[in-house]
């Protein structure tokens, strides 16, 4: 039994050769996780503030769905493609530093909004800034971590969504409860503002702190896992040939995960409204009850995703990354359908929290899968095509579809529970079927990998 161990250790050491100091690498991914926390807070805080915004600006559920979704997602996706192309060719640290600054300032600008269209334009700015995040992070993590620890690194990074959700609902709910005691809040340098507007300003300005830390302390890593003959500058012909050779894996990966995340964004963005309308829990009560357990489950989800994928691969499933992703997606869909139908707020909360155990599987393992089958010089661009679909379908249409179904299909704001379940069962089921169909294509793509060997 002692014989094989030195060989495995030597293989691990060999695979780690040439990568930056791993203690510093974990620091880098931690800073990006903090950036992701603020990005996710900026993205979903509008859901927590929906009732107050509607009351002040006289907006419908459909309009709020547009602000939660398509206003953010449209330019998030449009700008994502050229940014992904730029990520493969330019300094990723600079690109992400600029993006973090832009989305933070535009979140603060949401506090200046006085109408649907001014708030819409500020949300567009948030989307443009956040379009830099995942293409840069995916490429940077691939160059800081060897393949054997990359899934764990993506797990730490995606924990930002868990902390972002938890802090939005817990800390955000408590802060807003405090601010809502006043008709107006005196914000230094901004003057008197409505409580919901002050929330946007405080959150946006706070996001400038991790942006500054990232710019001052993170180094641009050397690029690895290059397959292109031009070593770092994949031609259009090479990119086109790669997509053609791997179309089943990439189409099913992008579309399947986007549809499942669409159902997740539907209930994440409307959950606070659901509890207020159906169970008479105000934002603060919901935040206190959901924040801590939701945060815990989100972190557990982000950390366990890579572990489960690793165990499946150790057990002989070479497609373990995408197989684990599929399992997590099934858990998200089942929980997302059942939770809104629970008869009491306590039962609904319990099912939503348990569903959170799977909520980060799609995000963590989608990025891990891209790093497994895509060479370095195309990762930024391929990630941006994934983000394009996730942004347009998931972030853009998920919240909007829920609001539209409530307004137009059921015609009753009190039917939001049925809207959530209907959107989830339709989009989530189709997404899981697409992912299952794509497993064979993913295995074929893995067999084509030549770089890093």
What digits encode the pLDDT tens for the residues 284-302? 788 778 878 888 888 899 8
Looking at residue 453, its pLDDT comes to 52
Looking at residue 217, its pLDDT comes to 95
Residue 350 lies in a domain: yes
CATH of the domain at 383: 1.20.1250.20
d(CA 99, CA 136): 10
What does the chain come to in residues?
A: 453
Give, rounded to a whole angstrom, the gap between the first and last alpha carbons of the chain.
27
Q: Which residues contact 245 (CB under 8 A, 6 or more apart)?
A: 445, 448
Looking at residue 3, its pLDDT comes to 40
- Average pLDDT for 3-10: 39
pLDDT band for position 220 (50/70/90)? very high
Whether the pLDDT of residue 345 is over 70: the answer is yes
Say which residue, 23 or 68, is predicted with more confidence.
23
Looking at residue 222, its pLDDT comes to 85
How many Cα atoms occupy the beta-carbon half-sphere of 273 within 13 Å? Answer: 31
What digits encode the pLDDT tens for the residues 239-272? 889 999 999 999 999 999 999 998 888 887 788 8
Residue 78: CB atoms within 10 A of its CB come to 17
Residue 125 lies in a domain: yes
- Average pLDDT for 350-362: 92
Among residues 166, 136, 197, the alpha carbon closest in space to that of 44 is found at 166
Task: Output the six-digit token pair for 433.
Answer: 């079927």
d(CA 129, CA 103): 4
Q: Coil, strand or helix: which one is 316?
A: coil
Contact call for residues 424 and 271 (beta carbons, < 8 A): no
Task: Output the six-digit token pair for 5.
Answer: 């161990």
Looking at residue 10, its pLDDT comes to 43
pLDDT band for position 12 (50/70/90)? very low
Looking at residue 279, its pLDDT comes to 94
Say which residue, 13 or 234, is predicted with more confidence.
234
Beta strands (DSSP E) in 165-235 are 185-187, 191-193
Q: Which residues contact 293 (CB under 8 A, 6 or more apart)?
A: 349, 353, 356
Residue 9 lies in a domain: no
Among residues 67, 160, 80, 138, the alpha carbon closest in space to that of 107 is found at 67
Residue 10 lies in a domain: no
Looking at residue 230, its pLDDT comes to 52
> Helices H, strands E: what count in the chain?
21, 2
Q: What is the DSSP string of 320-386?
A: HHHHHHHHHHHHHHHHHHHGGG-SSHHHHHHHHHHHTTTTTHHHHHHHHHHHHHS-HHHHHHHHHHH
Task: Output the six-digit token pair for 217.
Answer: 């302390």
Task: Output the six-digit token pair for 330.
Answer: 């099934």
d(CA 354, CA 171): 21
Backbone φ and ψ for 223, nearest 5 degrees, come out as -80, 140
Contact call for residues 353 and 294 (beta carbons, < 8 A): yes
Tokens 């669409």 sit on residue: 262
Contact call for residues 159 and 380 (beta carbons, < 8 A): no
Looking at residue 348, its pLDDT comes to 96
Q: Any idea which of 109-113, 227-231, 269-273 has the lowest mean pLDDT? A: 227-231
- Average pLDDT for 210-236: 79
Mean pLDDT of the chain: 86
Residue 222 lies in a domain: no
Looking at residue 329, its pLDDT comes to 95
Residue 302 lies in a domain: yes
Question: Which residue segment(s) compose the domain that 278 sits in?
Answer: 20-217+232-447
Residue 7 lies in a domain: no
Q: Any idea which of 9-13, 257-261, 390-394 has the lowest mean pLDDT? A: 9-13
Q: Coil, strand or helix: which one is 411?
A: coil
d(CA 77, CA 262): 14
Looking at the chain, the whole-number percentage of residues with pLDDT higher than 70 is 94
Whether the pLDDT of residue 354 is over 80: the answer is yes
Looking at residue 451, its pLDDT comes to 65
Whether the pLDDT of residue 141 is over 50: the answer is yes
- Average pLDDT for 200-207: 92
Put residue 160 in one of left, alpha, beta given phi > 0 → left and psi -120 to 50 → alpha.
alpha
d(CA 47, CA 386): 24
Total domain count for the chain?
A: 1
b vs e for 170-204, b when ≥16 Cβ sit within 10 Å of the residue's Cβ? bebbebbbebbeeeebebeebeebbbbbbbbbbbb
Angle at Cα 248 formed by Cα 243 and Cα 253, nearest 5°?
90
d(CA 94, CA 92): 5
Backbone φ and ψ for 195, nearest 5 degrees, come out as -55, -40
d(CA 75, CA 143): 28
Residue 422 lies in a domain: yes
Whether the pLDDT of residue 325 is over 70: the answer is yes
Looking at residue 283, its pLDDT comes to 74
d(CA 348, CA 279): 10
Say which residue, 325 or 239, is predicted with more confidence.
325
Angle at Cα 386 formed by Cα 385 and Cα 388, nearest 5°?
60
pLDDT band for position 191 (50/70/90)? confident
Convert 132-148 into a string of H (helix), E (strand) and C (coil).
Answer: CHHHHHHHHHHHHCCHH
Beta bridge partners of 186: 192
């Amino acid at each position: 039994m002692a014989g094989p161990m030195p060989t495995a250790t030597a293989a691990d050491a060999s695979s780690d050769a040439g990568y930056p100091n791993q203690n510093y690498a974990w620091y880098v991914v931690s800073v990006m996780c903090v950036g992701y926390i603020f990005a996710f807070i900026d993205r979903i805080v509008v859901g927590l503030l929906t009732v107050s915004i509607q009351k002040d600006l006289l907006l419908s559920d459909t309009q709020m769905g547009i602000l939660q979704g398509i206003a953010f997602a449209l330019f998030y996706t449009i700008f994502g493609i050229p940014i992904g192309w730029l990520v493969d060719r330019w300094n990723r640290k600079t690109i992400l530093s600029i993006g973090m600054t832009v989305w933070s300032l535009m979140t603060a600008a949401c506090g200046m909004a006085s109408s649907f269209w001014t708030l819409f334009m500020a949300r567009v700015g948030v989307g443009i800034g956040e379009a830099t995040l995942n293409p840069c992070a995916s490429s940077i993590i691939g160059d800081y971590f060897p393949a054997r620890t990359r899934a764990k690194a993506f797990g730490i990074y995606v924990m930002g969504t868990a902390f972002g959700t938890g802090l939005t609902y817990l800390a955000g709910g408590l802060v807003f409860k405090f601010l809502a005691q006043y008709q107006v809040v005196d914000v230094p340098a901004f003057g008197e503002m409505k409580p919901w507007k002050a929330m946007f300003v405080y959150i946006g300005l706070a996001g400038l702190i991790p942006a500054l830390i990232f710019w001052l302390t993170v180094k641009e890593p050397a690029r690895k896992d290059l397959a292109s003959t031009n070593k770092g500058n994949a031609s259009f012909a090479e990119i086109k040939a790669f997509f053609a050779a791997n179309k089943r894996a990439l189409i099913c990966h992008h579309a399947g995960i986007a549809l499942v995340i669409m159902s997740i964004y539907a209930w994440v963005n409307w959950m606070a409204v659901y509890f207020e309308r159906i169970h008479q829990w105000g934002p603060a009560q919901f935040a206190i009850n959901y924040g801590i357990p939701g945060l815990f489950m989100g972190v557990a989800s982000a950390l366990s995703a890579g572990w489960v994928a690793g165990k499946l691969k150790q057990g002989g499933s070479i497609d373990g990354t995408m197989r684990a992703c599929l399992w997590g997606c099934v858990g998200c869909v089942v929980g997302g359908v059942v939770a809104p139908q629970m008869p009491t707020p306590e039962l609904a909360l319990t099912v939503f929290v348990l569903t959170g155990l799977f909520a980060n599987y799609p995000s963590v393992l989608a990025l891990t899968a891209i790093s497994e089958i895509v060479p370095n010089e195309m990762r930024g661009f391929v990630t941006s095509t994934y983000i394009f679909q996730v942004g347009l379908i998931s972030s853009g249409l998920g919240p909007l579809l829920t609001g539209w179904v409530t307004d137009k299909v059921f015609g009753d704001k009190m039917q939001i529970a049925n809207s959530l379940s209907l959107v989830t069962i339709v989009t989530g089921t189709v997404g899981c079927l697409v992912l299952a169909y794509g497993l064979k294509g993913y295995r074929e793509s893995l067999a084509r990998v030549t770089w890093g060997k």
